[in-house]
Structure 1
Amino acid sequence: MKTRIYTFALICISFFTSCEDYLDKQQDFEGLDESDVFEDIRLAKNALDAAYSYLITDVSAPGQGGDWLPNMTMAGEGYPGRLWQTFPQTYPIYAQGDYVSLINMPPYNANGTPVGSTPNFTFRYFDSWKGIRAINTFLANVDNINNGTEEEINGLIGQAYFLRAFFYHLLTKRHGGLIYLKENLQLDSSLDHERESYQSNLADMLEDLDQATNFLPVAWESEDVGRPTKGAAMALKSRLTLFAASPLVNESNDQQAWIDAATAASDLINYANDNGLYTLIDASAANTIDVDHNGDDLFLMETEELEPYRSIFIGPGIQKTIPSEVIFSEVNQKFFVFGAIVSPTPRHTLTAGWDHLRGNGSPMSIGALANFVDKFETKNGLAIADDPDYNPQEPFINRDPRFYNAILFDGVTDLIVDPNAWNLTGVVDLAQVNEEGNLGLNLHDPGGNPNLFWRVRNLTGLRIKKWLPNGARWSGAGGRNHHVNNNIFRMSEVYLNYAEAANEAYGPNGAVPGSSLTALQAINMIRNRVGMPNVNAAYTGSKALLRERIRNERAIELCFEGIRYDDMRRWKIAHLEENKKVEFLEMRWQGSESSLYPTGFSFENVEQSQLTKTFDEKHYWWPIPNSEIEAVPTFLQTEGW
């Protein structure tokens, strides 16, 4: 008889399974029993490190691959350009609202190998429970360590509490309340559990984070850099409390929830200032780049003035320094079998599947959506609809400097061209019809060989530059001599969290008691550091007006970082028509430059009605796998599913 096992119980998962630990080392526990492991500080540390291998954040790459349905696609920031295999075919399942099929996709086959077409959030559900089991086993045995210092043991305890809260955050933000296991279920435990409320799980997560904050250090010694710190625990608390204060959870708009969220962010800001930590990188000179019509900097892949800001995300050389504003980042994985080359996965392979990765049989290739890119203001600090100087027939000029960090558009030069590239011109060509009357070289030719559909560079007319170092490519000397920072928490988000919560609790010019920083000042700090002016007065006259600007600012500052999808959910705006539609930018050569077409091209946002997303009330909370309900009927399915 086939027996189904309840995932959260993880009865069939052996704690002593050999796995890849946090620092990419193998620890073999064969021949050891539990008491042997937890008497020794080194083995206990390696046992806890096993939990990191199960941590699939919104920037993680299980199996060193990409994600078959990443947040940036679900959030309407981008759309997949690859037609080969089944990657885009995962999108219609999501767009049609069939979340049950998505969450029930098998994460692993019978041999334990990841199933390539399964989205990361399915892996995340199952693997989070494995991580929670590893943590609970550690906490149940930590008192047995007999050869570690108090500082060493406290550091391990702090990591365990942080990780348990993080795993539960990843689970509950999508599925709602589950069951908060602080001890592992035994083989003879009753499996008649009922789901708890989100608020109950939230209280437990916050309790774990308070413990983590008490035990974790301000910083780690060099050999442990990259592990969570007090600041990371405080950053997760800020993210959690903001989620709980938002309309999705806080249906009655209880002001205390907003006060709690503003206070959590304020506490971290004060902590960072007091300890000289997590300072915003100054890229205010970016407002001097010449991006006017045919400006000297308009089509450059890199500009000196913008480099400090780009360094938060990418940089040359495999050796890197953690940017000053990064609070917690994912340790880079290796790039398949290429020795010690730092891997840019997952963001690079997700967003850069064009000439740079020529030779890769399955580049993910996410293209930015035109209707999302319209959220970037002009350099004047106005929405494009409000700026009389903005010309939709010349959409790439004089935009927020962050536009030139995040978006790759037609005409940008790539200074290093792979000799095997599809486009050997060294210029990004995304036009539907270019100057020669041909399809853009970075676009797919509908009349081409279907066997070459994997070479599709773009469908949307815009690409993502944020995670694309200049010259990065699959092969050739120096092609992998770069790094990408998979940031999980950075200080920009904390200031934006503060701005949002403080605005809701105290208004645009209000501040948390004891703090001098207002909501408006917090958002202006994020803008000013890239040379953008303060929020225009037209958007600051009321809580409601500033709310919309703060939301837009989050979209721009945090774009393609795996945050917007959950922002849209917590704000309960994902069902709005403007957030369900998909628009591509169509760019066609008109024969010559003219007053109507200053570049000689016409530009038009074209809605792709066949890609419009279905989003109803039930889609705000995801279902759990059917196997859970079959194993334990009292553990009810998410409401609406």
Structure 2
Amino acid sequence: MKTYINKVLLLFIAATTTIVSCEEYLDVSPELGISEEEVFTDYFSTRGVVDRANYLIQNYVYSDTDWSSEIGVMSDEGQVSHSKFPQHYVYNSGVWMNSGARELGGMQFESAGAEYHGNDHQTEPVSKAFLAIRSVNTVLENIENLKEYPTELGYTEQELKDQLIGQSYFLKGFHYFQIIRRYGGFPIMSKTYSTTQDFDEVRPTYLQSTDSLVADLDKAIQLLPEQWNDQNKGRSTKTSARALKAMVLLYAASPLMNPDLNPYGSNSRTYNKTYAEKAAKAGAEAINGLPASGHEMFSMENYTDNWYSRDSGFPKEAIIQAPQSRHTDPNGSGRAGQGWFLPQYAGGWLAESQPTQNAVDWFETADGYDVNDPEAISSGSFDPANPYENRDPRFRTLISVQGDDMYEGLPNPGNKNIRILNAKPNGWHYKFETNKKKIFTGYYHKGKYNWPGCDKWNRSKGWYRSFPHIRVPQLYLDYAEAVNEAYGPNGVAPGSSLTAVQAINIVRNRANMPNVLAKYTTDKDTFRKRIYNERAVELYFEFHRWHDLRRWKLSKEVLGEGTIYGADIKDVGGQTVYDKKPMLGAIRVFEDKHYWYPFPSKVMDIMSKFEQNPGW
């Protein structure tokens, strides 16, 4: 039983150590006669073990197919267009137990932990988290064996050692967070485990797991540098650890993570004020450290540099960034990005994702009104007959709408019917999608994952793709949410003079949006809605929305039947009329039990102390 538990639940934690450096793999095999002690005597081989955990950070845009990126369409920000894929018959139908599908397969589908090796569609964040945690625990257990240090890196021996330890604690925290944010409180993996380890133990609470995680991040903050030299750009820094700490504590403050305040099956959504205060303080420390870290926001003119650029390296907004992959090679195929985010007719998948009307409605008017606010119309800020104009600049940067030339400035395609988006029932795009028996929202992606010439005609090369896990704007959003819950809209965290409202305005002003209207900042409950909305806009399709809805305990409400909308655009009496309608086939089944992912029944059947998540 012990062996089985370790095999299924821990997913390879007792596997042969594989060390990944920036340039190559070093496979340590018994046949080579290399002992573990010898591996950890040398700095570079030790760093290779740390780099393996870095390499295992999930990169949702790793390949040309984007096969791993379905999490966005589990929420209300996107809709997968075809019913043959797991988003319909697994995720959105609520059939999660014993699923081997990606995202849900971390405790079930062992090969989901496979590292890329040209088979990236098998990747799954939780499976990889176990591999990564074992790697860094091995480093921490053997760090005192380190004797051989290089002299050419520009750091002292003590600095090099501290950097390895600091990175290990940071990466352990990052990957452990991937587990608990999905499954809840989980045993604290503070060492490497043997195949004889009995893992049948009482689960800690989410807050206990968080406290352990934060302790690791505090160690990382002490040891990591503020910035790295040019040879090591992209590695974790003090700001990386501080920002992750703020995010982790914000999750711990959230309604879902506090069942004592919000019992299972209840509609209560109370934050844990103590953890909100901790999150606010951590956020303030992270923001205060930004100048020393070199991280800052792009101007709106360079907004899309966060996700693709002609220049290699890491975007300056990216505080935590998935390693860039070989598919970003400017001499490569030019196909990267064709998977989920490009329409099928332009070379994308049969089951490409599309923005929902729900997402479109999150983008305020350029004057700062919620488009569903009656005053938006009465003030003249929003015109229902011309709904795509006078809107938040991020809207048209990220989403293609009716009438857009989706290939502006490009020589191909020559067919104007393809170039100009027509989502009316008699329109080319509407007919193409529906003739393929696909769900059509009326919108297509652009901006974050589709760069100019990303299509089957132009096949533009020379673009480097990035997937940030935490950007500078998120840090301000995390801070604003925590401060609002702890101190109110105009409160501040210890060590900061920045109010929750001011933090949100920093994010908005970068997007050339005005400050939040005073009518939306009158009290904590009112302002909370604008914080939630701002997160949905700024972090659109960065795969936060699904987890945000869960931690806020809003999924059951937001993802109910008939709640996913598409555009309804028609010609009536010679005029174009814009409306929305629930999309047929846009399935979302979400019950109370779906707030936490289930542990497989074949694991739970042999457990006596380890408890299953509620409802499963």
* TM-score range normalised by the length of the shorter chain: 0.7 to 0.9
Q: What is the aligned partner in structure 2 of residue 293 from structure 1? A: none
In 2, Cα distance between the equivalents of 1:579 and 1:278? 39
Q: What is the aligned partner in structure 2 of residue 415 from structure 1? A: 408
Correspondence 1:29 to 2:49 = no
Q: What is the aligned partner in structure 2 of residue 296 from structure 1? A: none
SS in 2 for 1:136: helix
Q: What is the aligned partner in structure 2 of residue 611 from structure 1? A: 586
Q: What is the aligned partner in structure 2 of residue 161 from structure 1? A: 169
Q: Deviations for 1:336-361, whole angstroms, at most 9, x for unmatched residues?
A: 9x77549886x6632124455x2x6x
In 1, Cα distance between the equivalents of 2:63 and 2:458? 26
Percent of aligned positions that are identical: 28
- Matches for 1:365-376 after TM superposition, within 5 Å: 365-376=352-363
Alpha-carbon deviation of 1:430? 3.5
Q: What is the aligned partner in structure 2 of residue 266 from structure 1? A: 284
In 1, Cα distance between the equivalents of 2:72 and 2:600? 23
Alpha-carbon deviation of 1:24? 5.4
SS in 2 for 1:604: strand
- Matches for 1:481-520 after TM superposition, within 5 Å: 481-520=462-501
Cα 1:343/1:489, change in 2 over 3 Å:
farther
SS in 1 for 2:578: strand
SS in 2 for 1:232: helix
Matching residue within 304, 311, 315 for 2:305: 311
Q: What is the aligned partner in structure 1 of residue 610 from structure 2? A: 635
In 2, Cα distance between the equivalents of 1:465 and 1:375? 17
Alpha-carbon deviation of 1:62? 6.8
SS in 2 for 1:335: helix
C-alpha contact (below 8 Å) 2:357/2:441 kept by paired residues: yes
Alpha-carbon deviation of 1:4? 3.3
Q: What is the aligned partner in structure 1 of residue 87 from structure 2? A: 90
Q: Deviations for 1:428-474, whole angstroms, at most 9, x for unmatched residues?
A: 324233xxxx43247535446xxxx8xx7x71101121324443335
Alpha-carbon deviation of 1:391? 2.5
Q: What is the aligned partner in structure 1 of residue 41 from structure 2? A: 39
SS in 2 for 1:248: helix
In 2, Cα distance between the equivalents of 1:565 and 1:402? 20
Cα 1:499/1:4, change in 2 over 3 Å:
same
Amino acid at match of 1:125: V
In 2, Cα distance between the equivalents of 1:328 and 1:115? 24
Moved more, 31-40 or 610-619: 610-619
Cα 1:355/1:28, change in 2 over 3 Å:
same
In 2, Cα distance between the equivalents of 1:127 and 1:540? 41
Amino acid at match of 1:584: G
Cα 1:128/1:513, change in 2 over 3 Å:
closer
In 2, Cα distance between the equivalents of 1:181 and 1:109? 20
In 2, Cα distance between the equivalents of 1:203 and 1:514? 21
Cα 1:22/1:549, change in 2 over 3 Å:
farther
Q: Deviations for 1:383-416, whole angstroms, at most 9, x for unmatched residues?
A: 1122112222322111111111121112222136
Amino acid at match of 1:544: D
Cα 1:63/1:34, change in 2 over 3 Å:
farther
Amino acid at match of 1:166: F
C-alpha contact (below 8 Å) 1:241/1:260 kept by paired residues: yes
Amino acid at match of 2:339: T
Amino acid at match of 1:527: R
Correspondence 1:256 to 2:274 = yes
SS in 1 for 2:423: coil
C-alpha contact (below 8 Å) 1:282/1:529 kept by paired residues: yes
Provide structure 2 residue ranges, at least 5 long, that are not aligned to the other structure. 150-156, 262-270
Correspondence 1:244 to 2:252 = yes
In 1, Cα distance between the equivalents of 2:598 and 2:120? 19
C-alpha contact (below 8 Å) 1:410/1:462 kept by paired residues: yes
Q: What is the aligned partner in structure 2 of residue 349 from structure 1? A: 339
Alpha-carbon deviation of 1:186? 2.2
Alpha-carbon deviation of 1:155? 1.1
In 1, Cα distance between the equivalents of 2:335 and 2:488? 41
Q: What is the aligned partner in structure 1 of residue 144 from structure 2? A: 143
C-alpha contact (below 8 Å) 1:502/1:508 kept by paired residues: yes
In 1, Cα distance between the equivalents of 2:504 and 2:245? 20
Q: What is the aligned partner in structure 2 of residue 225 from structure 1? A: 233
What's the TM-score, normalizing by structure 2? 0.86
Q: What is the aligned partner in structure 2 of residue 586 from structure 1? A: 568
Cα 1:636/1:34, change in 2 over 3 Å:
same
C-alpha contact (below 8 Å) 2:357/2:567 kept by paired residues: yes
Moved more, 569-578 or 499-508: 569-578
Alpha-carbon deviation of 1:73? 0.9
Q: What is the aligned partner in structure 2 of residue 108 from structure 1? A: 111
Moved more, 327-336 or 164-173: 327-336
Alpha-carbon deviation of 1:418? 7.8
In 1, Cα distance between the equivalents of 2:446 and 2:242? 30
Cα 1:626/1:61, change in 2 over 3 Å:
farther
Q: Deviations for 1:170-204, whole angstroms, at most 9, x for unmatched residues?
A: 00011001111111222333343232221121111
In 1, Cα distance between the equivalents of 2:67 and 2:12? 28
Alpha-carbon deviation of 1:95? 2.1
C-alpha contact (below 8 Å) 1:460/1:584 kept by paired residues: yes
Amino acid at match of 1:100: M
C-alpha contact (below 8 Å) 2:307/2:467 kept by paired residues: yes
SS in 2 for 1:619: helix
Cα 1:204/1:116, change in 2 over 3 Å:
same
Q: What is the aligned partner in structure 2 of residue 427 from structure 1? A: 419
Q: Deviations for 1:305-333, whole angstroms, at most 9, x for unmatched residues?
A: xx222333333x2x235433321211221
- Matches for 1:260-409 after TM superposition, within 5 Å: 260-273=278-291, 275=292, 277-283=294-300, 307-315=301-309, 317=310, 319-320=311-312, 322-335=314-327, 341=332, 349-354=339-344, 356=346, 358=347, 362=349, 364-386=351-373, 387-388=376-377, 389=380, 390-409=382-401
In 1, Cα distance between the equivalents of 2:147 and 2:334? 38
Cα 1:22/1:492, change in 2 over 3 Å:
farther
SS in 2 for 1:398: coil
In 1, Cα distance between the equivalents of 2:13 and 2:190? 18
C-alpha contact (below 8 Å) 2:98/2:599 kept by paired residues: no
Aligned length: 582
Q: What is the aligned partner in structure 2 of residue 209 from structure 1? A: 217
Cα 1:481/1:180, change in 2 over 3 Å:
same
C-alpha contact (below 8 Å) 1:106/1:115 kept by paired residues: no
In 2, Cα distance between the equivalents of 1:147 and 1:127? 29
Q: What is the aligned partner in structure 2 of residue 304 from structure 1? A: none
Moved more, 215-224 or 138-147: 215-224
In 2, Cα distance between the equivalents of 1:328 and 1:69? 18
C-alpha contact (below 8 Å) 2:508/2:514 kept by paired residues: yes
What's the TM-score, normalizing by structure 1? 0.83
Q: What is the aligned partner in structure 1 of residue 152 from structure 2? A: none
Alpha-carbon deviation of 1:551? 0.9
Amino acid at match of 2:547: D
Alpha-carbon deviation of 1:590? 4.4
Q: What is the aligned partner in structure 1 of residue 77 from structure 2? A: 77
Alpha-carbon deviation of 1:549? 0.9
